[in-house]
């Protein structure tokens, strides 16, 4: 007999997806999934130290589940690249009013690859944890709840990003309205992120705008109302209380950013609808109770003016589906980047064709200190470099683009 340790996956047979690096894990965008267990993740992060490890464990399965669930249910997130909590806080407050889920893609800031020892509750449904190994023989009780150790390897977000989720926007996180992802762990080059963000926006059915010059100019002439001088907690309560009243405004905003335009007349139609609702929100008697409630809470209804030099739009080399394909075909992709490319191919096959000349609508913050920013924001139209290699080798074994299923393995003894 030998006491050689072996790993056995729970509730599934051992197959190619059980490898700790899960590079070849199958992710099917057409799969039927339920909404991720955000509440399970939040409760776990609240009670155990190092919530960034909990979030990493939970996201290895639930990130793709979130993506597939949103696609299946017509949820079109705004994908916002950020580099700091200050940018994230500043942007989210200015996007809360429109009622569309936001995913913050954090560029850079990941720790170096390191070995992880963490505690996992034994009473949860195991629907994630790819690349981690648990030891059920080492159960321990903490405040009446049983936990067991898990080991793995990870590159982690700094804890303060996760603390923002826990401390400032927990209700929005539970409802799926806000999410944070490390750009590199979902296949995006942190140094040159534009190409990966564009591909991610396609796969996620995120904010895409037709890039015909006249249409781009029309959309960029848009003023977006937001609420300022109020805590996120108070703002959340007010928005919940007035959700029925805000329906028309939010519907007009969503129609503008997700519609597939074929002419400038269509764009102008949606723009006029939104401008009418903005005017109503800011001035009409219909929204007076909403504005009064904000005022009593010291809140201010302000306007976020988007701006971008028209000459830059005209001179921009706009992105097409063929340029994305030429990028992916010529890149030395691996790990998360390889899976992202495969998901893009699945998306393309499902849609048959991608909108002609789409570009990604960036909410470019362009700031170093959000406290210095006045009521304005910049939108950047981006140009994808073709065939630029992306170096993501360090993310082969612990990325987030793994199957939306249980991937946790357990230690056992072979006799």
pLDDT tens per residue across span 125-142: 999 999 999 998 888 888
Separation of alpha carbons 265 and 262, rounded Å: 8
Q: Which residue has the higher pLDDT, 239 or 203?
A: 239
At residue 116, the 3 state secondary structure works out as strand
Q: Which DSSP letter does residue 364 get?
A: B
Q: What is the pLDDT at residue 12? A: 37
Q: Is the pLDDT of residue 188 over 70?
A: yes
Average pLDDT score over the chain: 74
What pLDDT is attached to residue 351?
Answer: 55
- Measured CA to CA, the distance from residue 192 to residue 173 in angstroms comes to 28
| Per-residue pLDDT reduced to its tens digit, 76-107 | 888 888 889 988 888 888 888 888 898 999 98
**Phi-psi group of 13: left, alpha or beta (phi > 0 → left; psi -120 to 50 → alpha; rest → beta):** beta
Distance CA 43, CA 173 (A): 12
How far apart CA 186 and CA 339 sit, in angstroms, is: 9
Backbone region of residue 205 per phi and psi (left: phi > 0; alpha: psi in -120 to 50; beta: other values): left
**Tens of pLDDT, residues 390-405:** 333 444 567 899 899 9
| This prediction's pTM | 0.77
Residue 106 φ/ψ, nearest 5 degrees: -85, 120
| Residue-by-residue DSSP string for 210-259 | E--HHHHHHHTS-EEEEEESS-HHHHHHHHHHTTTTTHHHHHHHHHHHH-
Query: Crossing angle, helix 159-167 and helix 51-72, to 10 degrees?
Result: 60
Sequence-distant (≥ 6) Cβ neighbours of residue 211 within 8 angstroms: 318, 319, 357, 358, 359, 381
End-to-end, the C-alpha distance of the chain in Å comes to 5
Q: What's the pLDDT score for residue 204? A: 81
**Conformational region of residue 349, where left means phi above 0, alpha means psi within -120 to 50, and beta covers everything else:** alpha
- Name the least confident of 94-108, 114-128, 243-257, 262-276: 262-276
Number of other residues whose CB lies within 10 A of the CB of residue 145:
11
Structural element, H or E, at residue 312: helix 310-315
Q: What is the DSSP letter of 97?
A: G
**The pLDDT value given to residue 375:** 37
Q: Where are the beta strands (DSSP E) in 25-131?
A: 78-82, 102-106, 114-121
pLDDT attached to residue 28: 86
Q: Report helix angle 85-95 to 159-167, nearest 10.
A: 30
Select from 319, 327, 347, 333 the least CA-distant residue to 391: 333
Distance CA 238, CA 243 (A): 8
């Amino acid at each position: 007999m030998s006491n050689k340790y072996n790993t056995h996956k729970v509730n599934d047979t051992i197959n190619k997806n059980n490898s700790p690096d899960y590079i070849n894990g199958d992710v099917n965008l057409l799969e039927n999934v339920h909404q991720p267990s955000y509440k399970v993740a939040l409760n776990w992060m609240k009670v155990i130290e190092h919530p960034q490890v909990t979030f990493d464990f939970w996201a290895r399965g639930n990130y793709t589940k979130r993506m597939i669930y949103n696609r299946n249910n017509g949820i079109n997130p705004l994908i916002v690249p950020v580099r700091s909590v200050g940018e994230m806080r500043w942007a989210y407050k200015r996007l809360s009013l429109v009622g569309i889920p936001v995913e913050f893609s954090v560029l850079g800031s990941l720790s170096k690859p390191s070995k992880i020892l963490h505690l996992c509750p034994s009473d949860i449904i195991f629907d994630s944890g790819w690349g981690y190994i648990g030891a059920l023989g080492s159960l321990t009780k903490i405040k009446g709840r049983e936990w067991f150790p898990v080991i793995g390897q990870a590159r982690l977000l700094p804890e303060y990003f996760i603390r923002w989720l826990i401390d400032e926007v927990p209700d929005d996180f539970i409802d799926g309205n806000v999410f944070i992802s490390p750009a590199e762990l979902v296949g995006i080059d942190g140094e040159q992120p534009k190409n990966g963000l564009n591909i991610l926006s396609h796969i996620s059915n995120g904010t895409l705008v037709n890039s015909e010059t006249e249409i781009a100019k029309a959309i960029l002439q848009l003023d977006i109302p937001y609420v300022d001088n109020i805590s996120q907690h108070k703002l959340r309560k007010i928005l919940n209380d007035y959700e029925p009243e805000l329906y028309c405004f939010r519907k007009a905003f969503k129609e503008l950013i997700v519609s597939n335009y074929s002419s400038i007349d269509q764009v102008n139609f949606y723009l006029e609808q939104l401008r009418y609702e903005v005017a109503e929100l800011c001035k009409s008697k219909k929204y007076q109770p909403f504005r009064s409630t904000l005022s009593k809470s010291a809140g201010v209804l302000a306007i976020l003016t988007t701006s971008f030099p028209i000459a830059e739009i005209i001179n921009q080399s706009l992105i097409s589906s063929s340029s994305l394909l030429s990028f992916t075909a010529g890149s030395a992709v691996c790990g998360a980047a390889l899976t992202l490319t495969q998901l893009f191919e699945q998306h393309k096959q499902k849609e048959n064709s991608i909108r002609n000349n789409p570009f990604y609508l960036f909410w470019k913050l362009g700031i170093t200190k959000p406290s210095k920013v006045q009521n304005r924001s910049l939108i950047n139209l981006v140009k994808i470099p073709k065939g630029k290699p992306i170096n993501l080798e360090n993310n082969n074994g612990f990325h987030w683009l793994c199957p939306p299923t249980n991937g946790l393995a357990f230690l056992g003894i072979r006799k």
